Amino acid sequence: MKESPVTSSIEEQPSRRTFLDALIACCSAVAAVALAAPAGLYLWPAAKGGGGEKAEVEGAKSLPVGGSKMVQLGAEAVILVRQREGFAAFSAVCTHLGCLVKWNTEKGQFICPCHAAAFGPDGEVLGGPPPSPLPRLKVQEAGDKVYVSKT
Amino acid sequence: MDRPGRINRFLEQRYNMEAVRGFVDKQIHKRLPPHTGWLHVFGSLSLFLFISQTITGILLLIYYRPTPKEAHESIKYITADVQFGWLYRQIHAWGASVMIAAVVLHMVRTFFWGAYKKPRELTWVTGVLIFIVTITFGFTGYLLPWNQIAFWATTVGTESANKVPVIGDWLQYFLRGGDAVTGETLSRFFVVHVIILPWVLTGLVAIHLFLMRANNLSTLEPVGEERPMDPAKGIPFYPVHVAKEGVVIVLLLAVLVALSVLSPWEIGEPADPLETPEHIKPEWYFLPSYQLLKYFQGPYGAVIGVFAVSLPFVFLFFWPFIDRTKERHPKKRPLSVAIGLFALSSALVLGILGYYSGKQVTLFGQRYRVTELGWLEPAANEAHPERPAKSEPALIIPGE
């Protein structure tokens, strides 16, 4: 018996069940995204405002030539060195894996205690695994106070 | 009617206890392949250690405070003032290392016995995931005492995250809860260590045990030629294998207590974000990766290094699908065995180099300094050789 055109066209269209299944799946997906999105934003660290632009290095003026001092600038550690030409400040965070460098007065270098990286007095890599030099920071002298800042 | 009888009747009137008893009976008296022996205890040992870590972890949680101001003090309080706090803290700290060792030994035994092959590929895959989660447990838990070594090990560890291409900076920012390791990092690691990972590991272990029981332990017969086991020849799980596991577990407990008493973990100095201690090293299970990273230098070295360190885990994960040979017996698959031995010895050599790098050693009467890359160079001041620190004994080869 030949299939009637009406029957065959009804069978080709999606059934009510299929439509409802798809609708429920879409609504569930939207609900899941609606629940997950604020949770994802919640997990993203909130920005901590302020405190990172400028920091005074206390006692900097009393440092001898070749002396150094560590100070916190926001979340970052900064090392100030008194060189013959004046003060120089660098990020103290080794560019290899984040340990803090120390100024070695004898060698005139910044040395990282973790993997023996060495940086010159200008922050350039002299040896070891670091991929890039120490970022230089700005030093400002105002009277007997010394400030370091990123810009 | 006596009490056990009353309880049984109570349960039987409400639940299908016959099915429950049948299931338990079947699992307990299941027959294991005849070659099952003492080398097959490491899986149960790992499970026991997970339970031990959970119990000691819950005990520590009662007094531990997850903030930078209180974390270190709370560890001191647990160690000095809480009755047996020192013991539970030491068992937890040593238990972490021993658990990783047990999981590794279990994987090594499984690898060399070819037990990862069809039809047990998914059991192996879940096992690799368990291994990764166990190491992550160690990494996250390490920060919680908030001492110098914890702080800087986490700084270095999370710094590696930003070497991942494209998403590295975001990944590091997310892991740390900010730009640097701070109290936000401690909070995140605490939640991961205490809530997320235990549930993840419980789920993985449940799936792993289910898959293991579904296929039973592997024999040494080739893939596709496993014969149904003659029950008369199999080893009953209970009491024979359970007895072996019981002996090993009791020995393990004795070892943990001995380590806790004779070689306790130090509390250490409180974390100082402005002072990186000299010669810090990660825990032994990270030493191979720590050393391997050093060999990749230059502007792209760190990126390549992170990939190199990740590769072993990728190989482990896909190994059942890479090695499709049919043989299981180690004598009949020399290539797999050679690869396994090479991987193990590489990890061992890198770990040893990582441990001794930066230290001075005495070899055949000569004093040498081990460079960061593992080479030997004459010690700088041979007229006045440095005395090694008490916690870093020098390697002395007879000849001095």
In this complex, which of A71, A99, A131 lies closest to B156 when CB atoms are compared?
A: A99
Q: From edge to edge, which strands make up the β-sheet containing B376-378?
A: B360-363, B366-370, B376-378
Residue of A nearest to B180 (CA): A75
Same domain, B114 and B253: yes
* Average pLDDT along chain B: 89
Interface probe, candidates A44, A115, A148, A150, chain B, greatest B C-beta count within 10 A = A115
Same domain, B381 and B311: no
CATH number of the domain that B101 lies in? 1.20.810.10
Residues for chain A: how many in total? 151
Q: Tell me, what DSSP letter sits at residue B279?
A: T
Domain count along chain B: 3
State percent of chain B over pLDDT 90: 65
The pLDDT score that the predictor gives to residue B385 is 41
B268-280: average pLDDT: 89
In this complex, which of B159, B177, B278 lies closest to A113 when CB atoms are compared?
A: B278
Q: Are B275 and B151 in contact (CB under 8 A)?
A: no
The complex's ipTM works out to: 0.76
CA distances from A122 to A94, A108, A128, A135, B215 (A): 14, 10, 16, 10, 64
The pLDDT score that the predictor gives to residue B268 is 92
Q: What is the largest CA-CA distance in chain A?
A: 107
Residue of A nearest to B278 (CA): A113
**Under an 8 A CB cutoff, do A75 and B160 touch?**
no
User: Which helix (H) or strand (E) is A26 found in, with range?
Assistant: helix A16-43
Residue B302 CB partners (closer than 8 Å, separation 6+): A96, A97, A129, A131, B160, B163, B293, B296
Cβ-based interface (< 8 Å): residues of B facing A? 152, 155-156, 158-160, 173-174, 176-180, 182, 184, 273-280, 293-294, 296-302, 358, 371-372
Whether B386 shows a pLDDT value over 50: the answer reads: no
**Under an 8 A CB cutoff, do A77 and B280 touch?**
no
Please give the torsion angle defined by the CA atoms of residues B255, B260, B262 and B268, in that order, rounded to the nearest 10 degrees.
Answer: 140
**Under an 8 A CB cutoff, do B372 and A99 touch?**
no
Same domain, B393 and B279: no
**Under an 8 A CB cutoff, do A115 and B372 touch?**
yes
Whether B189 shows a pLDDT value over 80: the answer reads: yes
Residue B265 CB coordination number (10 Å): 18
pLDDT band at residue B381 under the 50/70/90 scheme: low
Higher pLDDT, A4 or B277: B277
Residue A94 corresponds to which tokens in the numbers above? 């080794």
pTM of the model: 0.85
Q: Is the dihedral of CA B308, B309, B310, B311 positive or negative?
A: positive
B70-98: average pLDDT: 95
pLDDT band at residue B63 under the 50/70/90 scheme: very high
**Cβ neighbours of B374 in A, within 8 Å:** none
B18-45: average pLDDT: 90
Whether B1 shows a pLDDT value over 90: the answer reads: no
**Under an 8 A CB cutoff, do B178 and A131 touch?**
no
Residue of B nearest to A91 (CA): B274
Whether B321 shows a pLDDT value over 50: the answer reads: yes
E-strand stretches of chain A:
54-56, 68-73, 76-83, 86-91, 102-104, 109-111, 118-119, 125-127, 136-142, 145-149
Distance from CA of B360 to the nearest CA of A (A): 14
Any B CB within 8 A of A43 CB: yes
Asked, as a colleague might, if the bond just before B334 is cis with ω within 30 of 0, I would say no
**Cβ neighbours of A128 in B, within 8 Å:** 297, 372
Whether B51 shows a pLDDT value over 90: the answer reads: yes
Whether B384 shows a pLDDT value over 60: the answer reads: no
In this complex, which of A71, A97, A102 lies closest to B160 when CB atoms are compared?
A: A97
Q: pLDDT of B276-304, one tens digit each?
A: 988 788 899 999 998 888 888 777 777 88
pLDDT band at residue B319 under the 50/70/90 scheme: very high
Distance from CA of B91 to the nearest CA of A (A): 29
In this complex, which of B160, B177, B371 lies closest to A45 when CB atoms are compared?
A: B177
Same domain, B327 and B375: no
Residue B107 CB partners (closer than 8 Å, separation 6+): B127, B128, B131, B316
Q: 3-class SS at A151?
A: coil
Across A98-102, B45-49, B135-139, B295-299, least confident range: B295-299
User: Which helix (H) or strand (E) is A35 found in, with range?
Assistant: helix A16-43
User: Which helix (H) or strand (E) is B235 found in, with range?
Assistant: strand B235-236
Q: Strand pairing partners for A140?
A: A147
Same domain, B218 and B335: yes
The pLDDT score that the predictor gives to residue A48 is 66
State percent of chain B over pLDDT 70: 94
Same domain, B97 and B211: yes
Q: Strand pairing partners for B367?
A: B362
Helix ranges restricted to H, chain B: 3-12, 17-28, 42-63, 71-80, 85-112, 121-143, 148-159, 168-176, 183-191, 197-215, 242-262, 287-294, 301-322, 334-356
Higher pLDDT, B96 or B357: B96
**Under an 8 A CB cutoff, do B174 and A45 touch?**
yes
User: Which helix (H) or strand (E) is A10 found in, with range?
Assistant: helix A5-12
Residue A24 CB coordination number (10 Å): 10
Q: pLDDT of B331-364, one tens digit each?
A: 999 999 999 999 999 999 999 999 998 888 898 8
Whether B371 shows a pLDDT value over 70: the answer reads: yes
Same domain, B145 and B6: no
Q: 3-class SS at B290?
A: helix
Q: Are B185 and B158 in contact (CB under 8 A)?
A: yes
Residue B268 falls in which region: left (phi positive, over 0), alpha (psi -120 to 50) or beta? left
Q: pLDDT of A87-108, one tens digit each?
A: 999 999 999 888 999 999 999 9
Q: Are A129 and B301 in contact (CB under 8 A)?
A: yes
User: Phi and psi dihedrals of B33, rounded to 5?
Assistant: -55, 150
User: Phi and psi dihedrals of B270, rounded to 5?
Assistant: -60, 150
Same domain, B368 and B303: no
The pLDDT score that the predictor gives to residue B301 is 77
Top CATH class of A54-149 equals mainly beta
Same domain, B299 and B376: no
CA distances from A92 to A95, B20, B149, B379, B391 (A): 9, 64, 18, 28, 28
Range of the domain at B388: 359-400
pLDDT band at residue B50 under the 50/70/90 scheme: very high
pLDDT band at residue A80 under the 50/70/90 scheme: very high
The pLDDT score that the predictor gives to residue A3 is 54
Same domain, B157 and B264: yes
Rounded Cα distance between B57 and B60, Å, is 5
Residue B252 corresponds to which tokens in the numbers above? 């393990």
Same domain, B292 and B371: no
Burial of B25 per CB tally in 10 Å (0-12, 13-18, 19+)? exposed
Whether B163 shows a pLDDT value over 90: the answer reads: no
Across A40-54, B232-246, B314-328, least confident range: A40-54
CA distances from A72 to A56, A69, A79, B113, B313 (A): 9, 10, 9, 55, 38
Q: Are B333 and B325 in contact (CB under 8 A)?
A: yes
Whether B166 shows a pLDDT value over 60: the answer reads: yes
**Under an 8 A CB cutoff, do A45 and B278 touch?**
no
The pLDDT score that the predictor gives to residue B382 is 44
Any B CB within 8 A of A150 CB: no
CA distances from B324 to B211, B218, B318, B330, B337 (A): 20, 16, 11, 14, 14
**Domain extents in chain A:** 5-43, 54-149
Rounded Cα distance between B342 and B336, Å, is 10
Same domain, B9 and B47: no
Residue B120 CB partners (closer than 8 Å, separation 6+): B211, B212, B215, B218, B320
Whether B113 shows a pLDDT value over 50: the answer reads: yes
Q: pLDDT of A104-125, one tens digit each?
A: 999 999 999 887 789 999 999 9
Whether B257 shows a pLDDT value over 60: the answer reads: yes
pLDDT band at residue A49 under the 50/70/90 scheme: low
Q: Are B124 and A63 in contact (CB under 8 A)?
A: no
